[in-house]
């Protein structure tokens, strides 16, 4: 899971973007409430966990009490009371053993609980992602989304499974030890009046100083990670331009910066342990000194039993043990607090996706598109991805059922944009798109999208067999149908000569086959799908000309009776289209058949002649 440098805890998690932000109280409260809801969903695990925590801590708090009693039984004025010694030692052991057992059960329960929550969160996040509009993915970096699914949820998980119990334990232990110490000797507690504030002040001072250093460290590690990722994905280009030395140098400087940041953070972090130890030892020594003095007076009879300053030897021993228990959580508190803070910002990043508006719901009276004839009309359509930049400007196109419409135009003219609009990945800003005479916004999205089959500019294959990848177009297709489609796409002979044939597993995104072969597989997939409209966006751009012509023949068969939108830079493929549209600067500047456009002698004829003469 953890693919980068460092671990997923937010403090040193490089893939979080930017430093851990300070959150206002309201946001913190709402996140806390929301996390609480997740926890309470599994109350049947959480409530036992609380009970286990309380019991385990109570038992471990009883340990020193019994050890103190055992010491008193040894130091008794009437000689060593063996029975009492054994009894108390036995009870002490029993308490500690039972506490350990409960702690074990507790950890187990909490891991179980946090895993359930994480699983739920991941599922919700994933479901949300599948319902978000395409626009979301166009405007958010994939890496960032992935880091929310993995790193941020992991951070929340770590806090839930570990820190939550830690907080409950800390509070219980601090209060419990205080009560025990109060019962043993009130005057000795005064020692803490000096040491606790010192320790709190120090940890606060330190965390203030260290936090920015940790943020800087995450930031620097993030940069290093990002750089490494970029270089790995571009390794071929780097080799081709012989830039290995240069990028090595740049890596070195980033690496050094990251290590410096790491050193600084760790350096100040490392000063904490010895200082806290020093304060702890100091308070323990003070307790021993004052406890010893009080014990001397008590022993000599100067202080009577039951008086405020009375203490036994066992009492001093108990007190020392409780003081250690008491000081531990106080010193840890600052750490836990910062871990909670990072978990909160991680949770916030997750919740932000969950709160994202899903793709606009279908209109309430939306009709399903049934038995689509395949008549598509763009009526005075205007569109821009952003208000500032208009991509399509009052475009009108009528595609009669079964006809082939080819769209040509310079790069960036908006050809793919038209496809985005036809599929309703985006909605038009002005005008209408009609399918079989119905405005597409009045149709159910699912039914509209399934009326189309498409082969896009970016091929997409998933990690699975070739058979499954082709069958993606029609789930219940038989092997014969798949083979026929592969044959039509001219990829059958290639597939058959593979050792595993149709069962060959394609690795991520089909890296183990060539770009052209990938396109042919997606064409086969589209041929299998039974839809009345077909979209081909540069579908054969990576295929050699001879294969392209052969596919074209097969395609002509396939296109029979289907309305087709074909975008191609190689004009030979669209010669036979019923209508060719030339899209320039957001407008349709020419339209007609191949012969008509050639005769016209405009943009198309110039382009065509430049390709063939």
Ligand X SMILES: Nc1ncnc2c1ncn2[C@@H]1O[C@H](COP(=O)(O)OP(=O)(O)OP(=O)(O)O)[C@@H](O)[C@H]1O
Q: Which residues in this chain contact ligand X in the complex, by CB under 6 A?
A: 138, 385, 391, 409, 411-417, 457
CA 603, 607, 612, 613 torsion-angle sign = positive
CB 474 within 8 Å of CB 528: yes
- The minimum distance between CB 570 and ligand X, in angstroms, equals 12
Tell me which stretch binds Mg ion (CB under 5 A): 110-118, 185-193, 229-237, 409-417: 409-417
Taking the least distance from each CB to ligand X, the nearer of 96 and 385 is 385
CB 67 within 8 Å of CB 61: no
- The minimum distance between CB 595 and ligand X, in angstroms, equals 24
425 is in the binding site of which of ligand X, Mg ion, none (Cβ under 5 to 8 A by kind)?
Answer: none
- The minimum distance between CB 537 and ligand X, in angstroms, equals 7
246 is in the binding site of which of ligand X, Mg ion, none (Cβ under 5 to 8 A by kind)?
Answer: none
Distance of CA 60 to the CA centre of its chain: 39
- The minimum distance between CB 382 and ligand X, in angstroms, equals 13
Token pair 């001397």: residue? 296
417 is in the binding site of which of Mg ion, ligand X, none (Cβ under 5 to 8 A by kind)?
Answer: ligand X
- The minimum distance between CB 408 and ligand X, in angstroms, equals 9
DSSP class of residue 504 equals P
Taking the least distance from each CB to Mg ion, the nearer of 291 and 409 is 409
CB 96 within 8 Å of CB 59: yes
Taking the least distance from each CB to Mg ion, the nearer of 416 and 453 is 416
Residue 438: exposure state from Cβ atoms within 10 A (0-12, 13-18, ≥19): middle
Residue in 332, 85, 90 with CA at minimum distance from that of residue 200? 332
Q: Does residue 416 interact with Mg ion by CB under 5 A? A: yes
397 is in the binding site of which of ligand X, Mg ion, none (Cβ under 5 to 8 A by kind)?
Answer: none
Taking the least distance from each CB to Mg ion, the nearer of 269 and 384 is 384
Helix ranges (DSSP H) in 132-234? 134-139, 142-147, 153-158, 164-184, 186-233
Taking the least distance from each CB to ligand X, the nearer of 137 and 263 is 137
* SS3 label, residue 78: coil
413 is in the binding site of which of Mg ion, ligand X, none (Cβ under 5 to 8 A by kind)?
Answer: ligand X
Taking the least distance from each CB to ligand X, the nearer of 306 and 412 is 412
414 is in the binding site of which of Mg ion, ligand X, none (Cβ under 5 to 8 A by kind)?
Answer: ligand X
Please give the Cα distance from 406 to 374 (Å, whole number).
16
- The minimum distance between CB 159 and ligand X, in angstroms, equals 36
Tell me which stretch binds Mg ion (CB under 5 A): 139-147, 217-225, 361-369, 408-416: 408-416
- The minimum distance between CB 522 and Mg ion, in angstroms, equals 15
Q: Does residue 13 interact with Mg ion by CB under 5 A? A: no
Q: Does residue 459 interact with Mg ion by CB under 5 A? A: no
CB 513 within 8 Å of CB 477: no
Please give the Cα distance from 399 to 418 (Å, whole number).
13
Please give the Cα distance from 241 to 157 (Å, whole number).
44
Please give the Cα distance from 497 to 534 (Å, whole number).
30
CB 469 within 8 Å of CB 518: no
DSSP class of residue 386 equals B
* Number of residues that this document lists for the chain: 613
Site for Mg ion in 332-361 (CB under 5 A): none
- The minimum distance between CB 539 and Mg ion, in angstroms, equals 11
- The minimum distance between CB 548 and ligand X, in angstroms, equals 17
Taking the least distance from each CB to ligand X, the nearer of 135 and 335 is 135
- The minimum distance between CB 565 and Mg ion, in angstroms, equals 12
- The minimum distance between CB 516 and ligand X, in angstroms, equals 18
Taking the least distance from each CB to Mg ion, the nearer of 150 and 541 is 541
Tell me which stretch binds Mg ion (CB under 5 A): 42-50, 93-101, 416-424, 496-504: 416-424
Residue in 294, 290, 288 with CA at minimum distance from that of residue 318? 288
Tell me which stretch binds Mg ion (CB under 5 A): 46-54, 369-377, 410-418, 491-499: 410-418
Taking the least distance from each CB to ligand X, the nearer of 22 and 570 is 570
What backbone phi and psi angles, to 5 degrees, belong to 382? -125, 145
Taking the least distance from each CB to Mg ion, the nearer of 419 and 435 is 419
CB 76 within 8 Å of CB 314: no
Q: Does residue 420 interact with Mg ion by CB under 5 A? A: no
Q: Could you please report the per-residue DSSP string of 104-128?
A: HHHHHHHHHHHHHHHHHHHHHHHHH
First to last CA, the chain: 55
As given in the structure block, the two tokens for residue 554 are 């097969």
Taking the least distance from each CB to ligand X, the nearer of 4 and 414 is 414
As given in the structure block, the two tokens for residue 158 are 């770590």
User: Which position's Cβ is nearest Mg ion?
Assistant: 416
Residues forming the site for Mg ion (CB under 5 A): 416
């Amino acid at each position: 899971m953890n693919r980068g440098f460092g671990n997923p805890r937010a403090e040193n998690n490089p893939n979080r973007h930017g430093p851990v932000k300070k959150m206002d109280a309201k946001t913190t409260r709402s996140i806390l409430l929301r996390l609480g809801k997740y926890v309470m969903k599994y109350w049947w695990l959480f409530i036992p966990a609380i009970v286990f925590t309380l019991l385990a801590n109570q038992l471990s708090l009883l340990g020193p009490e019994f050890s103190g009693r055992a010491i008193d039984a040894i130091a008794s004025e009437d000689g060593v009371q063996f029975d009492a010694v054994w009894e108390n030692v036995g009870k002490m052991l029993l308490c500690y053993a039972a506490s350990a057992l409960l702690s074990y059960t507790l950890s187990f329960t909490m891991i179980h609980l946090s895993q359930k929550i994480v699983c739920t969160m991941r599922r919700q996040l994933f479901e949300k992602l599948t319902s978000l509009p395409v626009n979301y993915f166009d405007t958010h970096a994939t890496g960032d989304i992935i880091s929310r699914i993995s790193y941020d949820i992991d951070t929340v998980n770590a806090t839930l499974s570990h820190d939550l119990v830690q907080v409950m334990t800390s509070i219980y232990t601090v209060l419990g030890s205080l009560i025990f110490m109060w019962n043993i000797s009130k005057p000795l507690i005064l020692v803490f009046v000096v040491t606790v504030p010192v320790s709190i002040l120090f940890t606060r001072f330190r965390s203030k100083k260290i936090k920015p250093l940790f943020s800087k460290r995450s930031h620097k590690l993030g940069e290093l990670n990002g750089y490494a990722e970029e270089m790995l994905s571009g390794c071929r280009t780097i080799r081709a331009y012989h830039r290995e030395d240069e990028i090595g140098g740049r890596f070195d400087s980033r690496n050094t910066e990251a290590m410096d940041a790491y050193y600084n953070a760790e350096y100040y972090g490392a000063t904490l342990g010895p200082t806290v130890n020093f304060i702890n030892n100091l308070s323990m020594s003070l307790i021993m000194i004052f406890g010893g003095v009080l014990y001397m007076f008590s022993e000599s009879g100067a202080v009577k039993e039951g008086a405020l300053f009375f203490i036994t030897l066992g009492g001093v021993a108990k007190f020392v043990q409780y003081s250690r228990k008491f000081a531990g959580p106080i010193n840890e508190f600052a750490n836990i607090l910062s871990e909670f803070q990072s978990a909160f910002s991680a949770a916030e990043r997750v919740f932000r996706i969950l709160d994202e508006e899903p793709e606009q719901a279908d209109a309430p009276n939306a009709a399903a598109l049934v038995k689509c004839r395949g008549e598509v009309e763009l009526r005075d359509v205007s569109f821009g991805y952003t208000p500032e930049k208009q991509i399509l400007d009052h475009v009108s196109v009528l595609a009669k059922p079964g006809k082939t419409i080819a769209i040509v135009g310079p790069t960036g003219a908006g050809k793919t944009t038209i496809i985005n609009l036809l599929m309703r990945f985006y909605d038009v800003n002005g005008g209408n798109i009609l399918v079989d005479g119905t405005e597409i916004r009045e149709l159910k999205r699912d039914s509209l999208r399934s009326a189309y089959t498409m082969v896009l500019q970016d091929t997409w294959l998933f990690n699975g067999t070739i058979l499954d990848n082709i069958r993606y177009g029609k789930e219940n297709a038989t092997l014969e149908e798949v083979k026929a489609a592969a044959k039509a796409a001219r990829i059958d002979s290639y597939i058959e000569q593979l050792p595993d044939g149709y069962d060959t597993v394609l690795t991520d995104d089909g890296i183990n086959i060539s770009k052209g072969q990938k396109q042919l597989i997606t064409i086969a997939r589209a041929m299998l799908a039974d839809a009345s409209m077909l979209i081909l966006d540069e579908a054969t751009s990576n295929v050699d000309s001879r294969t392209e012509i052969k596919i074209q023949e097969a395609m002509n068969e396939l296109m029979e009776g289907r309305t087709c939108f074909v975008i191609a830079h190689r004009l030979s493929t669209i010669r036979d289209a019923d209508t060719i549209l030339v899209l320039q600067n957001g407008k349709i500047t020419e339209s007609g058949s191949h012969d008509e456009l050639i005769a016209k002698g405009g943009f198309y004829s110039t382009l065509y002649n430049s390709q063939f003469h």
